[in-house]
Amino acid sequence: MTINATEQVEGKATFKVGNAFFRTTSQVARDLGVLAAATHQAKTNRLRVLDVMAGCGVRSLRYWLEAQADWVWTNEGNPDISPTLQHNLARAIATGHGQLTHLDANRVFFDCYNRSDYYDLVDVDCFGSAAPYLSTSLWAIALGGLLYLTSTDGRTATGHLPNGSLQVYSAYARSHPAAHEQGLRLLIGSVQQQAASRGFGVEPVFSLFLGQSYRVMLRLVATPALTAQNYGFLGYCHHCGNYQTIDWRKLGRAICLHDQKPLTLSGPMWLGSLHHPRQLQQYVELAAIWGWPDRISLLNLMKAEAAMPPYFYQLGEVGRRGKLDIPKRSQLIQTLQDMGYRASATHITAQAIKTDADIRTCILAARQC
Ligand SMILES: C[S@@+](CC[C@H](N)C(=O)[O-])C[C@H]1O[C@@H](n2cnc3c(N)ncnc32)[C@H](O)[C@@H]1O
Ligand SMILES: [Zn+2]
């Protein structure tokens, strides 16, 4: 909503955008961040936030006003945005709820570590690759605290630049129909591996692909969570369209179970759950109190897909490979469930389903729709 030529409102925040980068369409991501922050505050009775790439400061304001943050450190690397930020954050700073700096994000993380000043939520809303901050942001988070990461580097994550993904994720990403989900999984896997190397783990709270941006909310936990089962390789058969996950010990025999053709292997990446359903249920309850029906729908969809395999089948591909009309998503899900399989929609695209049935079974089910 625009108040006048220069002021905007989002949630409880009123702010100027000025010369900062701001997208109204990213509100979904900010709303989920606020739900996570508010839930953390309600549970622990404290909330210190580091908004390290603040833009105009909309997130800082919302964490303070809607999630009741005690303290928000707003940092923005570009000092040209300072007048806008000083205007927007004037009340938070004057009332002793925050500070504003213009430093490089990595300097901020190491400064936090150096002073043992750890945050309950670290928000790293970068554009482009998040790789320079994947390991360093962990230095600024309190144990049990949250890391909210954004990456908009879709080309690297979706297999169009496999050498690039090798450099930033230590993973060889290939192109296949579920490659946007892979973008989330590479991000989680990389942070998981970085955390493990320091004796910690991360727990995905939610993962969101929206508008060509990959966002993950991760909780830092005291014990390593990475295992050979939840961090590994995804195999896609270009011949028949089937997906498989491949055990590390069976990499030398990575062939399609249907037709024995060689698989296109991508990884390693996170193969575990994309979301934490119990946490999401708490966000649903809070979103109901706040009257956010669209966010409830999204969170319920995320809950349903949380425990599904780490890929999806596109409806168009099921139709094309089965020489059928494209099946209706809800009917295909219902038919697969009636056949005894797990099946759900995916938040990533409305034109796909997640299921533990293989592609042949999906085609059989589509014939019955
Ligand atoms: C996507 S915008 C932030 C948008 C804002 N969080 C929002 O929700 O509207 C990313 C911001 O990070 C800043 N930035 C980029 N690299 C940075 C770095 N290394 N350290 C600190 N700030 C940085 C940019 O100047 C830009 O304002
Ligand atoms: Zn095959």
Ligand 1 atom at minimal distance to the Cα of residue 105: 20
Nearest CA to ligand 1 atom 23: 77
Residue 236 has what pLDDT? Answer: 98
Residues contacting 102, CB < 8 A, separation 6+: 75, 76, 77, 78, 79, 82
C-beta of 317 in contact with ligand 1 (< 6 A): no
C-beta of 132 in contact with ligand 1 (< 6 A): no
Q: Tell how far the Cα of 275 is from the centroid of ligand 2, in angstroms.
A: 29
Residue 75 has what pLDDT? Answer: 98
Average pLDDT over residues 86-98: 98
Q: Write out the two tokens for 10.
A: 């989002």
Encode pLDDT of 193-215 as tens digits. Answer: 999 999 999 999 999 999 999 99
Cis check for the bond before 268: say yes or no (omega within 30 of 0): yes
Distance between CA 222 and CA 67 in Å, rounded? 25
Distance between CA 33 and CA 30 in Å, rounded? 5
Encode pLDDT of 140-187 as tens digits. Answer: 999 999 999 999 999 999 999 999 999 999 999 999 999 999 999 999
Ligand 1 atom at minimal distance to the Cα of residue 132: 19
Ligand 1 atom at minimal distance to the Cα of residue 78: 25
Distance between CA 233 and CA 223 in Å, rounded? 23
Domains of the chain, with CATH numbers?
Answer: 7-270 (3.40.50.150), 313-369 (3.30.56.70)
Nearest CA to ligand 1 atom 3: 55
Q: Tell how far the Cα of 326 is from the centroid of ligand 2, in angstroms.
A: 21
C-beta of 17 in contact with ligand 1 (< 6 A): no
Residue 369: pLDDT band (50, 70, 90) is: confident
Ligand 1 atom at minimal distance to the Cα of residue 20: 27
Alpha carbon separation from 173 to 114, 234, 254 (Å, rounded): 35, 10, 16
Nearest CA to ligand 1 atom 21: 77
The ligand placed nearest to the CA atom of residue 358 is: 2
Alpha carbon separation from 124 to 51, 180, 236 (Å, rounded): 7, 20, 32
**pTM confidence score:** 0.97
Average pLDDT over residues 75-94: 98
Q: Write out the two tokens for 110.
A: 């190491």
